[in-house]
């Protein structure tokens, strides 16, 4: 990734960067800032303040109303006009109060963090000593105060964590919550709330003067050039295959995806500097104007799709985003759909289509062609352990598998549809509990269906299909491991069924289904097939099937 760095040198195992604080005759030596290496410094606060002001002034799409209605509860961190701020904060019932606010994006981690519960909510309203809070919360409170913002929203303190009704109600408001904040502060490098936002890692800088080839400012004042080790921007460019030095750990978490995409400004606290992404661009404190990414997901591309409002671009962007999002980690796999519900709500406002557990009604046939990424780490673990589906999520939804999924790049909404979606029974952004998954999750499709025989290639993680009148066995991508004894087990030699979906420029695509009930023609999705030939020429029956 090009971060528009200046000249980089390597001396042995040491990399060095050349930069200047002002323009020089050498185009390859870029202008960058001196940094202290302390992300909680006054210089960092000033940088962020100036960035917010400039962004709000120049980017209409990044502006948020000054009188935004606050969430149900926020943290009142103090009257900023008073001469002395208290050492305590309070949990504030907002009652539709209007004011600017900031949010915190953080990784809870394995260590139990402080939360608001039904037992302590009243005492939290009376006051919480800042010194009693974990370091990440303390840093976020300090930085928010220094930005001149009175209210701060932290999920673990502003949602009653042992009240399911409160959690569902607040989770359904995530879209507006993050979309309307002034800034979202991110403890990018902290694996839990003890790590904090602030880092201090001194940056050693060496200054030297140059008047090479007579290119000097004046005889007594040569050009100043500085040398330092490169800053770790890679914390902002994670890939599904891991990140270097375990930096940027927050950006590998699933819940953070929508927080980052929806917020007008997302402020990353890195090891030696802060870097902010707005809806139209991004900038590091060092002076780099860089295109920050996480798992291939650019905030600017999300903004472009949302603002253009074109159904085709929205549908394509949604499918690309799902590939990025599902590569991220969740502590609880039941959060797979809720953790992206805010983005779904934003898309729904623009598309006007109904949303069904990750699938859109107006592009349902193409949306159903998701495939499991078999090279992901979570999939490889399936060879060792039987992997169950995510409870309460229909099998036709990508939310039912706890691993990375993707859509074929050849898939477009202009592909030839060879079936008709009659009805989708599941509606909603956050799935309700339904342990059987049979009552409200039905997808009814009218199309060609063909029986096939399941065969295993190895220990049960890879499968083939024997299809009548097809000379060779057909490969297919299975959604879960069902060749190992367990809840998803299907014996080799059992009948399964192929349902034809569509034809793109290269392949026919069809779902692979397991029959659950003969009388109702009830099926469960177990995988997908892509094949260059039409395997439905002979022996196929056209009828309505229900998939749960």
Q: Has residue 72 got a pLDDT over 50?
A: yes
Neighbours of 491 (CB within 10 A): 10
Lowest-confidence region among 22-31, 127-136, 302-311, 394-403 = 22-31
User: Mean pLDDT over residues 163-192, rounded?
Assistant: 93
Tens digits of per-residue pLDDT, 41-67? 999 999 999 999 999 999 999 999 888
* Cβ atoms of 289 and 282 closer than 8 Å: yes
pLDDT band at 37 (very low <50, low <70, confident <90, very high): confident
Q: Has residue 182 got a pLDDT over 90?
A: yes
- Selected residue with higher pLDDT from 212 and 486: 486
Tell me how many degrees the CA angle 480-484-486 measures, rounded to the nearest 5: 80
Q: Has residue 436 got a pLDDT over 50?
A: no
Lowest-confidence region among 166-170, 304-308, 454-458 = 454-458
> How many angstroms separate the most distant Cα atoms in the chain?
95
- Selected residue with higher pLDDT from 226 and 109: 109
pLDDT of residue 435: 30
Q: Has residue 448 got a pLDDT over 70?
A: yes
Angstrom distances, CA of residue 23 to CA of 4, 19, 217, 379: 15, 10, 11, 51
Q: Has residue 380 got a pLDDT over 60?
A: no
Task: Kindly tell me the sign of the dihedral angle through the C-alpha atoms of 327, 332, 337, 341.
Answer: negative
In the numeric block, the tokens 């040198």 are attached to 9
**Most confident of the following: 198-207, 420-429, 516-525:** 516-525
* Cβ atoms of 389 and 427 closer than 8 Å: no
- Selected residue with higher pLDDT from 362 and 4: 362
Q: The whole model's pTM is what?
A: 0.84
**Most confident of the following: 87-101, 307-321, 399-413, 475-489:** 87-101
Phi first, then psi: give them for residue 253, nearest 5 degrees: -95, 140
User: Mean pLDDT over residues 473-478, rounded?
Assistant: 85
Instruction: Please write down the HEC assignment for all residues of 410-476.
Output: CCCCCCEECCEEEEECCCECCCCCCCCCCCCCCEEEEEEEEEEEEEECCCCCCEEEECCCCCCCEEE
pLDDT of residue 459: 57
Angstrom distances, CA of residue 158 to CA of 42, 69, 162, 271, 399: 28, 15, 12, 28, 27
Tens digits of per-residue pLDDT, 116-145? 999 999 999 999 999 999 999 999 999 999
pLDDT of residue 268: 93
End-to-end CA distance of the chain: 42
pLDDT of residue 4: 45
Angstrom distances, CA of residue 269 to CA of 189, 247, 498: 7, 11, 49
Lowest-confidence region among 144-158, 266-280, 357-371 = 266-280
Q: Has residue 523 got a pLDDT over 70?
A: yes
User: Mean pLDDT over residues 232-237, rounded?
Assistant: 56
pLDDT band at 379 (very low <50, low <70, confident <90, very high): low
């Amino acid at each position: 990734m090009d971060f528009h760095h200046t000249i980089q040198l390597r001396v042995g195992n040491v990399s060095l960067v050349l930069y200047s604080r002002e323009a020089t005759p050498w185009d390859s030596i870029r202008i960058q800032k001196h940094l202290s290496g302390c992300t909680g410094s006054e210089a960092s606060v000033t940088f962020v303040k100036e960035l917010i002001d400039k962004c709000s002034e120049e980017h209409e799409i990044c502006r948020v109303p000054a009188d935004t209605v606050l969430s149900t509860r926020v943290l009142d961190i103090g009257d900023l006009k008073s001469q002395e701020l208290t050492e305590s904060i309070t949990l504030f019932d907002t009652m539709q109060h209007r004011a600017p606010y900031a949010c915190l994006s953080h990784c809870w981690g394995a260590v139990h963090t402080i939360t608001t519960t039904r037992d302590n909510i009243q005492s939290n309203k009376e006051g919480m000593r800042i010194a009693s809070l974990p370091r990440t919360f303390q840093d976020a409170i300090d930085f928010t105060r220094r930005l001149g913002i009175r209210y701060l929203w932290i999920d673990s303190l502003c949602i009653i964590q042992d009240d399911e009704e409160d959690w569902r109600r607040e989770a359904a408001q995530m879209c507006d919550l993050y979309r309307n904040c002034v800034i979202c502060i991110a403890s990018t490098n902290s694996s839990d709330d003890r790590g904090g936002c602030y880092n201090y890692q001194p940056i050693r800088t060496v200054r030297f003067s140059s008047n090479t080839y007579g290119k000097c400012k004046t005889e007594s004042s040569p050009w100043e050039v500085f040398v330092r080790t490169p800053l770790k921007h890679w914390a902002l460019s994670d890939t599904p295959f891991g990140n270097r030095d375990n930096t940027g750990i927050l950006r590998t978490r699933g819940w953070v995806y929508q927080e980052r995409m929806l917020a007008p400004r997302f402020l990353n606290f890195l090891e030696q500097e802060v870097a902010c992404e707005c809806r139209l661009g991004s900038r590091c404190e060092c002076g780099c104007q860089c295109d920050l990414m996480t798992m291939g997901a650019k905030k600017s591309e999300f903004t472009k799709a949302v603002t253009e409002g074109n159904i085709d671009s929205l549908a394509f962007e949604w499918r690309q985003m799902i590939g990025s999002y599902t590569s991220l980690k969740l502590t609880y796999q039941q959060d797979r759909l809720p953790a992206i519900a805010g983005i779904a709500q934003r898309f729904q406002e623009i598309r006007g289509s109904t949303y069904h557990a990750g699938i859109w009604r107006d592009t349902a046939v193409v949306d159903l062609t998701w495939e499991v990424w078999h090279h992901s780490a979570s999939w490889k673990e399936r060879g060792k352990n039987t992997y169950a589906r995510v409870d309460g999520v229909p099998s036709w939804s990508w939310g039912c598998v706890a691993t990375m999924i993707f859509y074929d790049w050849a898939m477009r909404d202009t592909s030839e549809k060879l079936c008709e979606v009659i009805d989708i029974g599941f509606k909603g952004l956050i799935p309700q509990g339904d342990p059987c998954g049979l009552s409200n999750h039905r997808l009814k499709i009218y199309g060609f269906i063909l029986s096939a025989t399941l065969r295993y290639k190895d220990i049960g993680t890879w499968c083939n299909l024997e299809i009548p009148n097809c000379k060779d066995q057909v490969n297919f991508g299975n959604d879960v491991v069902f060749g190992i004894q367990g809840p998803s087990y299907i014996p080799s030699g059992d009948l399964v069924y192929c349902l034809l979906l569509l034809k793109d420029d290269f392949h026919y695509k069809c779902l692979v289904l397991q029959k659950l009930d003969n009388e109702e023609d009830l099926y469960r999705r177990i995988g997908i097939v892509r094949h260059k030939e039409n395997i439905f020429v002979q022996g196929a029956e056209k009828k309505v099937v229900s998939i749960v």
